[in-house]
Amino acid sequence: MTTRTKRVTLTFQHPFSLHGVERQLAPGQYEVVTDEEMIEELSFPVYRRVSTLIFLPAQAHRPSSIEMVNVDPADLAAAHARDRATLSATAPAAARAP
């Protein structure tokens, strides 16, 4: 089966939360990895999402520790949209003007 992996870095300017993560996450950059597999029964290439993972700083005593958490892409997109909306709502009026 053919698979592909997409990696993106999302930047959050404010603390945020995600379903399945029992703590509030700090502002910063977060790597998100999405694995997809090809549906081979079709006559044209189509991929379906298998998993979406976000890399988070682990709640450990070592600052280099990370944890990978499986997240719902819609929940992640909603959290990122809320962060951007908060950013634009708190920006000075001169910065928002076209």
Give the tens place of pLDDT for each residue, 10-51: 999 999 999 989 899 999 999 999 999 999 888 888 999 999
* Main-chain phi, psi angles of 35, to 5 degrees: -100, 135
* 3-class secondary-structure state, position 46: coil
Domain ranges of the chain: 3-92
pTM of the model: 0.79
Query: For residue 2, what pLDDT is reported?
Result: 87
Buried b (16+ CB within 10 A) or exposed e, 58-95: eeeeeeeeeeeeebeeeebeebbeebeeeeeeeeeeee
Q: In this structure, what token pair is assigned to residue 20?
A: 């399945």
Query: For residue 42, what pLDDT is reported?
Result: 84
Residue 26: left if φ>0, alpha if ψ -120 to 50, beta else—which one? beta
